[in-house]
Structure 1
Amino acid sequence: MKAAPEAQRRLLDLQAVDTALNQLAHRRKSLPELAEIDTVSREISVLEDERVRAQVAVDDLDRDISRFEKDIDQVRTRKQRDQARLDAGGALREIEGLQHELATLNRRQSELEDAELELMERRETAEQTLNEVKKRITEAVERRSAAEARRDETLAEIAKEQEFKTQSRAPLANDLPADLVQLYDKIRTETGLGAALFRSGRCGGCRIELYGADLARVKGAAADEVVRCEECRRIMVRTAESGL
């Protein structure tokens, strides 16, 4: 393929723009905020599971405490009824029976209240655990939100730069021979780099140094000959910097 030396040289300008675009695309995919958001999101998911378990523990204790309160209320009601009957007087045997039942009810009430107190202490601990998990979730959500804000800000900057580079690429490509750009784009699509400067006997694409016949081939090629590397197949652009 033939192309004017100046057109070949301008391939380097086009490649510089495409390299910048590739770097921006890579940066978009590899933002540290993306990994941070993913990590914190998994952390929040684990914490949400902990929160559910902690909430269930509190709810179970609330249910048990409520049951004990009902039992205690029943004992109190029964004590009030028996005390009223005792205060009303009656046969000695009935009075003794009521006194015995009141003593039993007092013991029962004491046992229930002790058990309820133990549950209330356990509930206090369970609620502290629940509140701690909720606090950690809040902090994690805040960290994720901050990372998302940084991500969005950086993505906006990248998009702006990509738009600028894309707009600057079109005039460069349109001003070059169509067949040269077509070859360049084909190589770039396959390898990521379509053209590179040939300098000091070395291909700027694969960095391999040429010797003997290979180097003679490049030196002997006409100025308008599009020379490609035998190793990586990229276009080797010769300029005054090539040292030929």
Structure 2
Amino acid sequence: MPKAPAIDQQRLLDLQAIDTRLAQLAHRRRTLPEQVELDGLEKERRRSADMLIAARTLVSDVERLVAKAEGDVAQVRDRADRNTKRLQSGGVSAKDAAALEHELESLGRRQGVLEDEELVVMERLEQVQFAAAELTTTDSELAEQIADVTGRRDAALAAIAGEETATLARRQAIVMGIDDALVALYEKVRAPRSGVGAAMLRARRCEGCHLDLNASDISTIRSAPSDEIVFCEECGRILVRTDQSGL
């Protein structure tokens, strides 16, 4: 069985506590609520941006329809003005005057239809412009929210990084006080065991798997020298004996 001074074995508990805290910090970084909130806001803004592009495109399309409707009305109005001036000039024959009057009547009806169509597209333009304006406001609000959450996320990450730096420094100090072979064994044991390589034997229970040891295991551990490294038969972790072990 591998051996290490009992004091070094007990220092493993301090090292394990440090590694557990580092794992907690890493988990916190991966699951930051600010990051989750930020991801949701960015997704919402991408969707809003697509809608805004579509709305602005629609505004441009309707603006062209309005311009065309205005042009059609202006064309008919100009033609009617020219015919009216010809009639008022008195320089046309009776036959031409009758034709001009007939055309003026047709132009009047046509102008009425075109002006109704112009009114419809102008109302449509007002609607799509309003929708685009609302989406623009939404986009600005989302941008402000994203900036706020990004700031809070970055602050949280900075706090985590700061604590990690301090924790790693404490880890290095602890490792320097433990036998290298024992540290290597600890690292080997904890790698496949969710990062927990050493656990206290407290009141005859392994705090790694939280199972009570049977009488045979307790007897074996009780008879083992203090410098002998013992393992939990259930989870395979290093069992650290203290005055709380109940042996």
Establish whether TM, by shorter chain, passes 0.5.
yes
Aligned pairs for 1:80-159 within 5 A: 80-89=81-90, 90-159=92-161
| Alignment correspondent of 1:201 | 204
Task: Return the offset for 1:56.
Answer: 2.3
Three-state SS of the structure 1 residue aligned to 2:200 is: strand
What is the deviation of 1:63?
0.9
TM-score when normalising by structure 1: 0.96
Distance in 2, Cα, partners of 1:127 & 1:100: 40
Aligned residue for 1:196, secondary structure, equals strand
Q: Distance between the aligned counterparts of 1:233 and 1:83, measured in 2?
A: 106
What percent identity do the matched residue pairs reach?
Answer: 42
Give the letter aligned to residue 234 of structure 1: R
The alignment partner of 1:124 has SS state of helix
Q: Identify the match of residue 235 of structure 1 among 230, 234, 238.
A: 238
Q: Whole-Å Cα distance in 2 between the matches of residues 53 and 171 of structure 1?
A: 60
Q: Distance in 2 between matches of 1:185 and 1:174?
A: 14
**Distance in structure 2 (CA, Å) of the matches to 1:10 and 1:41:** 46
CA distance in 2 between partners of 1:193 and 1:41 (Å) = 37
1:231 deviation in Å? 1.4
Does residue 40 of structure 1 match 2:41? Answer: yes
SS in 1 for 2:230: coil
Residue 54 of structure 1 deviates from its aligned partner by 1.7
Give the number of aligned pairs: 244
Identify the residue that residue 215 of structure 2 maps to in structure 1.
Answer: 212
Which runs of at least 4 in structure 1 moved beyond 4 Å after TM superposition? Answer: none
* Aligned mates of 1:19, 1:115 — CA distance in 2: 73
Provide the aligned C-alpha RMSD in A. 1.2
TM-score (norm 2): 0.95
Consecutive unaligned residues in structure 2, runs of 5 or more: none
Q: Work out the CA distance in 2 between the residues paired with 1:136 and 1:68.
A: 32
* DSSP 3-state at the match of 1:20: helix
Displacement after TM superposition at 1:98 (Å): 1.0
Distance in 1, Cα, partners of 2:82 & 2:127: 37
Deviation at 1:39, TM superposition (A): 1.2
